[in-house]
Amino acid sequence: MSSKLFTLEVQTRQRSQFIDITSEVERIVTQSGVKEGTARIFTLHTTAGLTINENADPTVVEDILMELNKVVPLNDGYRHMEGNSAAHIKSSLFGVSLAVFITGGRLALGTWQSLYFCEFNGPRQRKVLVKVIEE
């Protein structure tokens, strides 16, 4: 089993947003030359996350963010002095890593699935690590 590690830079533009990183991760998989294996995707930030969700209708992402802000409001009497507790909570709810199978040299995603970087404390310059593992 061999692996290759890549870094993906993500520039966010809003406090909260989902950025589709599927094409960038697919480019990395192609560049790696791995035909069968796994892509492990990890973000290095405690106020961001990763998820897989629908890519066909952008209102799905808008709805997720709208409902998430209802469940975890920006200001809710948090004690953390930096004022970004909501972002830390959202990051913990979503998680900071994903694993996606690679088959035939491509990510094994469903027809409507995309990989999203989830910003909860932007705008910022962010990093995502992608480890492509040949199995």
Number of structural domains the chain divides into: 1
For the segment 65-87, the average pLDDT, to the nearest whole number, is 94
SS3 14: coil
Structural domain range at position 23 = 2-134
Residue 85 in tokens: 């507790």
Residue 49 in tokens: 């996350």
**pTM of structure:** 0.96
The pLDDT value given to residue 25:
98
The pLDDT value given to residue 20:
98
* CATH number of the domain encompassing residue 124: 2.60.120.460
At residue 42's C-alpha, the angle toward residues 41 and 44, to 5°, is 155
